Amino acid sequence: MKNLLLTTTLALTLSAPAFAAGSHDGGHGDDHAMEMKIGMAGDAAKVDRTIEVTMRETDDGEMIFEPHDLEIKQGETIKFMIQNSGEIEHEFVLDTVEGNQEHKEAMAKMDMEHDDPNSIRLMEGGSGEIVWTFANAGTFEFACLIPGHYESGMHGPITVSANDHAAAEEPEAKVEVTAEAKAPAEYTSGKIKKVDTKAGKVTISHGPLLNLDMPAMTMVFRADEAIIAKLAEGKDIQFVAERVKGKLTVVAMK
Ligand SMILES: [Cu+2]
């Protein structure tokens, strides 16, 4: 029965609420009707456990969640306290692997700002909460679906263990993302969002970086003094970035 249901559901769009439900103000249990496969907005008064999640970029150009995986018991209501300790915007989305994948593809076409109970988007330095009830057992996923971030490391598995015997054993849909295409360095256009002269860092909202196989997004780069000196917030530039000692670095600019 469960398997039949699963097959049918998979054929439909799993992330429907993220698109169909319009906007809600916050994810604090104000939303009742919307149940997803991964569960539903939880009641803040009935929280079983609090989990702190940090989102940030690393020095070598990865973007991560801490912790990087979650183990939850079926029926548990979890309060996620989410902190963006990074230097750019991130989001925390709870869904099935397939749901996140579909949603990610949609976001690659258009950076949607959404505010559903299963997700929260936070500016750098920002923090927020999601209260969520994991109604079903199975393997789910938390992820940041801002273009490029998933590929840079921002996703992790959520294992919800069954309460009763033989409940849903979900097929694990592994999504392999390959990032091996190499192209010669070309100038990419970008707009400077922030310059940190002291740390030798610059935040650039940029087009696709073909040589690094990175889609258009906003990222933090290293740059040497000579380049930093020519940068200013709000300026449009053409630049080349490379991995230098594992760190994303602006190596040329015009
Ligand atoms: Cu992100």
241 CA to centre of ligand 1 in angstroms: 20
CA distance 95 to 42: 15
Secondary structure letter of residue 74 according to DSSP = T
End-to-end CA distance of the chain: 62
pLDDT of residue 135: 96
Residues with C-beta atoms within 5 A of ion ligand 1: 90, 144, 146, 149, 154
239 CA to centre of ligand 1 in angstroms: 22
205 CA to centre of ligand 1 in angstroms: 14
The CATH-assigned architecture of domain 188-253 is: Beta Barrel (2.40)
154 CA to centre of ligand 1 in angstroms: 6
CA distance 89 to 98: 23
User: With 0-12 CB in 10 A as exposed, 13-18 as middle and 19+ as buried, what is 131?
Assistant: buried
The residue count of the chain comes to: 254
User: Minimal CA–CA distance to 29: which of 175, 114, 132, 119?
Assistant: 132
Strand partners, 139: 159
88 CA to centre of ligand 1 in angstroms: 8
Domain range summary for the chain, segments of one domain joined by +: 15-161, 188-253
CA distance 124 to 84: 6
63 CA to centre of ligand 1 in angstroms: 7
pLDDT of residue 221: 86
- Which CATH number applies to 15-161? 2.60.40.420
119 CA to centre of ligand 1 in angstroms: 12
H-type alpha helices, 150-229: 225-228
Token pair 């009707």 in the structure block, residue = 33
194 CA to centre of ligand 1 in angstroms: 17
pLDDT along the chain (254 residues), means of 10: 43 42 41 77 96 96 96 97 97 96 87 79 97 97 96 97 62 49 74 90 85 75 90 93 81 89
CA distance 126 to 104: 22
pLDDT of residue 216: 74
57 CA to centre of ligand 1 in angstroms: 8
